[in-house]
Amino acid sequence: MPTTFKDKVKSFMFQETSGIKLNLLTLRMSDPEVKKDFTAHKIEGFNRTQLFVCAQVFVTLNLLINIVNVFVQDRPVAGSLMMAGITFLMLQILWPICYFRCQSLSRYIFPVWFIATLVLYNVTSRVDDVDSVFYIDKHLNDCFLGFTVIYIMTMAFFSYCEFMTALLVYTPLYLASSYLTQLAQSETILEVQKYVPVEYQVIVQDNIAINMNRAVLIAVTLLMGKYLQQLDVIQLMIKSRSINKQG
């Protein structure tokens, strides 16, 4: 039992099972063999057949829907297809190449896709020129809602046991983009309010604070889930390794 404050802090930050230490903050292990097994397990997780097949169906439907929107609803061609094109390129061309040729590289496809999509959303949120290739039809907070969906998808499906990547890459970029894209539309909102009767101004208002609270809540919830997912996997692998050593 921990007796001193230092021991209590140590017991809170570290867990030791059969000589294998686990840092409960960073989820790093001391045993190189467990690390190797965990890396192999993550590679399998990123290349699950069910995930791969479902993703290909989703990307195909997404591309078809955007094509239909362009020709049926007369939306701008370049901007709409650029969004779908990035997803098509990353998940239906580059990922299958990694899936069939070098599965260890699949894990790098998803951060690149996530960052490229967020950059494009940030750019389109600031473009109001209908002649620009980056112009897309968008309503209030459309870009924020769009990459919130991308963030949730990435955290749920494309970041298996990647807690530190989620904490240090996905989440900061998502929160920063959430704020910047809404800030880009705040001037437009204030301008529109001038022409709206007082009783209806509540409908057209700056929701940055409210949406950022929502974004933080979404991020914290998904990070907790990602942490617990990776912790459970690591603990099971350490336990399995300990049993094998005893046997």
Express each pLDDT in 204-213 by its tens digit. Answer: 566 777 888 9
Express each pLDDT in 118-155 by its tens digit. Answer: 888 888 777 766 566 566 655 556 778 888 999 999 99
C-alpha–C-alpha distance, residues 29 and 74, integer Å: 54
**pTM of full prediction above 0.85:** no
The 10 Å CB-count burial string (b at 16+, else e) for 78-99 is: ebbbbbbebbbebbbebbeebb
pLDDT score recorded for residue 169: 95
pLDDT score recorded for residue 211: 85
Three-class SS of residue 80?
Answer: helix
pLDDT score recorded for residue 130: 59
62 CB-near residues (< 8 Å, 6+ apart): 84, 87, 88
Mean pLDDT of the chain: 82
Q: Is the pLDDT of residue 231 over 90?
A: yes
Mean pLDDT of 96-111: 93
